[in-house]
Structure 1
Amino acid sequence: MKIKFSNDFWWGTAISGPQSEGSFEKKNDSIMDYWFKQNKEDFYNFVGPSVASDMFNQYENDIKIMASLKLNSYRTSIQWTRLVKNIMTGEIDEKAVEFYRDYFTKLKEKGIVTIVNLFHFDMPIELENIGGWTNKKTVKLYAQYAENCFKLFGDIISHWATFNEPVVPIEGCYLYKWYYPKIVDFKKGIQAGYNTILAHAKAVNIFHKIFENDKSKKICSILNLTPAYPKDNKPENIEAAEIRDLIFNKSFLDTMIKGEFPSKLVKLFASEDLLPEYDSEELAEIKKSYIDFLGVNYYQPSRIQSRLTKWNDKKEIMPEKWFENYEWPEKRINPHRGWEIHPKTLYKIAIDIRDNYNNIPWIVSENGMGVENEDKFLNKENQIQDDYRIDFIKEHLYWLNKAIDEGSNCFGYHLWTFIDCWSWGNAYKNRYGIVSLDLLNNKRKIKKSGYWLKEVIENSNEIEIDEDLVK
């Protein structure tokens, strides 16, 4: 069968500043930089973020590769710790401005629309030392940083994002000890989440004030959505899945599109004395903020059931007080990453946005497949034959295309990622790029998937899909 996307559909890739640029010439450390210096053993093969994919030095060549693949869009992020010389005063580093202006200009010259994100997990360590997102001072300094970015680069960049996956630092830093400072405190996490939403709202309102007369300028937030499927239709399992959805998805989705917190979530947190510190002025700021489009990162759903044993109230309260994960026996797993592969959930997300979120324009801002030891798929020409990635993409595009045909307002698809990049904790264990990176010499080589995507674009966005692949 064949599917086709519109001629103006966005095809591109996503990456982040801290995972691609490296820390060359930065004046400040993020929590990731600091964490690596303190605990190298926490990182796969002891590989830290200092060099990353070396895009700080090789961005011109990388942009040429993007252009050669006919990609028309791209997402990256500004590193707060690079742009700002003095985190506490907001003083700008002019060398960083020169770097980003040249980077973004060269993308624009190649006809590549760039979405610039302001925050991708890389909290400055100076701010983490005063509580990070739990501290309202961080909110104020983020708003100042955002305003500087809009003014410094707004003549080049038309599309912006406030945050990438804002729930992940909450999970990683305050719940499950994935990331420094590895705190386990749900109430602090809720405060950090609330303050993140407030910071987002302040940045969005500043943005719309600066660009109120320029409708070509648009701003979004990028959310990783993990829809919760209940084990079955029993009321207790449906309720458990709904609570999981409220905490991890709708807490950000509803506030950033509708400007208000889900009432059921507020009641739930109030019943446990978990509500954050807030005031009416802040709620008004959140209410009046609006995004022009939505970025959706989709990798896997969640499978949920009600608790099999009652929560021990003597333990530190966690989201799992109200639900447990359920191992669906039919699920298909990416064995390298341990994540479920379920492309049809992308259709579910698309229809939910259509029906429950004003059919807001949106883009798949990340989707991709991480694979370990990809060198074993090299052919005689030293090219990685990643047919598994091509099939993964095809499956997701089939369901996305179906949703678009049914009226969902999706205008693009970005793969994670352009080039194999450094990942928090996992370093280079799982490779996601359509371009491979040789860690010994930083050389790049386009994988089979990169050339496949180029063929799709050259073939007027038409894709041939084996029906057996999407049964």
Structure 2
Amino acid sequence: MCWLQTVVICFVVGAVVGGRDFPPNFKFGTATAAYQVEGAWNISDKSPSIWDSYVRRHPEKIKDMSSGDVACDSYNQWKKDVEIASDLGLDFYRFSIAWTRLMPSGFPNTVSEDGKKFYNDLIDGLLEKGIEPVVTLYHWDLPQSLQDLGGWANPLVSDWFADYARVVFSLFGDRVKTWITLNEPLIFCEIVYNTALHAPGILSVGVGNYLCNKHAMIAHAKAWRIYDEEFRPKYKGKVSLSNQILWLESETESDEEITEISRQFMVGMFSHPIFTKEGGWPPVIEKIIAEKSKKEGLSKSRLPPFTQEEKDFVKGTFDFYGFNYYTSRIVKKAKEGERIGPWPFAGASDLDIHLTVRPEWKHAATSWFYICPEGLRRQLAWLKEQYGDIEILITENGYASYDGGVDDQDRVQYYKEHLEQVLLAIEDGVNVSGYTAWTLIDNFEWSDGYRSKFGLYQIDFEDPLRKRTPRASAHYYASVIKSRSIDVDNKLTDEL
């Protein structure tokens, strides 16, 4: 065999083997959110959030009539969360701060000593274990006091959020180097105002959602610029937002144009203003909604425009792209008389589209969850194509089941298939820097209550101490982190 053949064979074999391993600097984490895990909803001087109020006003909107009043009791059991995060070998742990626990009035004139101590203890506890804290400022729990003033439909909300962000950066910026400003505006704007199935339960289809969308973009930009100007020179951290994205595929070739338009709605509404050079809304979406509004007899578009000054202010306010992925949909143009949807965002009606799934996609727990691992790689490629060679941090990906047992091989398979797609995307040249498993522990899963389980660790919600037990998926994920490879034994072991 000649030397050239030997080199080629070695290169190919190395590429195949290396393709199962993650880059040395790739980071692994898990995530939770304050309302879903903390409990202690009225401890000390904490005030009610919109979710505290919503579960009391509309208990029937939660499938099992439950609430996050106690949840996983992470407020009291945070040391256990830190311990299991350490057992997993996490590089980072993503959690959110409850605005109402830190600033009970919603404004910076009141900063809770109790809230400050809780988050300081959690951050310091993680750092002592060598785990990087990744902090989300807003994961859907707006202070009820601010909702009473209009919440995300009030343009002043961006100033309220900016004041809150400055307080958080001031208190914790010396130790937190990665920040998420907003988690999934697609959900807290589009789902909320188009269905009223999440807090605060206000139905305002095609109006409230678009007000929320714009105010969220401005709020994010204000927080980013505050960090950039006041804190980055000293702390050298990174700030962005996290978007939940469903990969959208066309049903037929004739649906490809409307599918791309739909992507510009689902992704572009929350990315184009920030990640493009021109800024503002995706032009095709702005045009469609303006035309629809005119036909409806409105004097102005239901989608509030950005001024040039606002475009310049919002664009470029990122250090990476935060990306949450769970599922995919098939897009087709709705026929006359055909039901629009069923994914509840205003684009379904404003774009006249119908969303379906492929018959071979398995159905996970919760009504919206169908499994399509390939969608993750395709969406990552689309993001690079649209917004360039930006760093992408996968800030959520996980599997829901109704079975609360510990031998969760279906979840193991989900993680293995999706991590494989991440590796393939990296081979494609996408700059993916990290992966976050949703979630560390079973928790209050919003309108699904405690029925659906996402946790790597099982929570015994009948136990006053909320016992945490590792599942097979926890052992698998710990092995992936330790080996930096997806080729690991996924059987239960004694590692954890």
- Structure 1-normalised TM-score? 0.91
Code of the residue aligned with 1:20 in structure 2: it is V
User: 2:12: which partner in 1?
Assistant: none
What secondary structure is seen at the aligned counterpart in 2 of 1:325?
strand
Change in 2 beyond 3 A, CA 1:245/1:370: same
User: 1:371: which partner in 2?
Assistant: 401
Distance 2:219 2:54 in 1: 24
- Residue in structure 2 matching 1:5, options 13, 22, 32: 22
- Residue in structure 2 matching 1:244, options 252, 262, 273: 262
- Residue in structure 2 matching 1:362, options 378, 381, 392: 392
- Residue in structure 1 matching 2:272, options 254, 264, 289: 254
User: 2:175: which partner in 1?
Assistant: 156
Matched, 1:397 2:425: no
Alignment coverage as a number of residue pairs: 452
Q: How does 1:284-363 map to 2 (within 5 A)?
A: 284-287=312-315, 289-309=316-336, 318-321=346-349, 322-338=351-367, 339-363=369-393
Q: How does 1:76-87 map to 2 (within 5 A)?
A: 76-87=95-106
Distance 2:489 2:380 in 1: 20
Distance 1:263 1:198 in 2: 18
Deviation at 1:280, TM superposition (A): 4.1
Give the percent of matched residue pairs that are identical in Structure 1 and Structure 2.
27
Matched, 1:91 2:113: no
Matched, 1:123 2:142: yes
Deviation at 1:196, TM superposition (A): 0.5
| Moved segments of 4+, more than 6 Å | none
Change in 2 beyond 3 A, CA 1:284/1:460: closer
Change in 2 beyond 3 A, CA 1:365/1:230: same
Matched, 1:15 2:35: no
Q: Cα deviations across residues 295-316 of structure 1 (Å, max 9, x unaligned)?
A: 110011121111111699xxxx
Change in 2 beyond 3 A, CA 1:459/1:27: closer
Q: Cα deviations across residues 97-147 of structure 1 (Å, max 9, x unaligned)?
A: 111111111111111112101111112112222221110121111110001
Deviation at 1:26, TM superposition (A): 5.0
Distance 1:92 1:118 in 2: 15
Higher mean C-alpha deviation, range 168-177 or range 189-198: 168-177
User: 1:424: which partner in 2?
Assistant: 446
Higher mean C-alpha deviation, range 405-414 or range 210-219: 210-219
Distance 1:215 1:359 in 2: 25
CA contact (8 A) 1:228 1:241 kept: yes
Structure 1 stretches of 5 or more lacking a match?
376-383, 467-471
- Structure 2-normalised TM-score? 0.87
Distance 1:329 1:71 in 2: 35
Code of the residue aligned with 1:265 in structure 2: it is I
What secondary structure is seen at the aligned counterpart in 1 of 2:330?
strand
What secondary structure is seen at the aligned counterpart in 2 of 1:334?
coil
CA contact (8 A) 1:229 1:304 kept: yes
Change in 2 beyond 3 A, CA 1:153/1:249: same
Change in 2 beyond 3 A, CA 1:246/1:310: farther
Deviation at 1:326, TM superposition (A): 4.0
- Residue in structure 1 matching 2:461, options 418, 430, 439: 439
Distance 2:311 2:338 in 1: 32
Distance 2:104 2:25 in 1: 39
Aligned-pair RMSD on alpha carbons?
2.2
Code of the residue aligned with 2:57 in structure 1: it is Q
Distance 2:338 2:469 in 1: 51
Change in 2 beyond 3 A, CA 1:354/1:247: closer
User: 1:378: which partner in 2?
Assistant: none
User: 1:283: which partner in 2?
Assistant: 311
Distance 2:24 2:187 in 1: 34
Change in 2 beyond 3 A, CA 1:80/1:228: same
Higher mean C-alpha deviation, range 35-44 or range 325-334: 325-334
Code of the residue aligned with 1:459 in structure 2: it is S
Distance 1:62 1:89 in 2: 29
Deviation at 1:10, TM superposition (A): 1.0
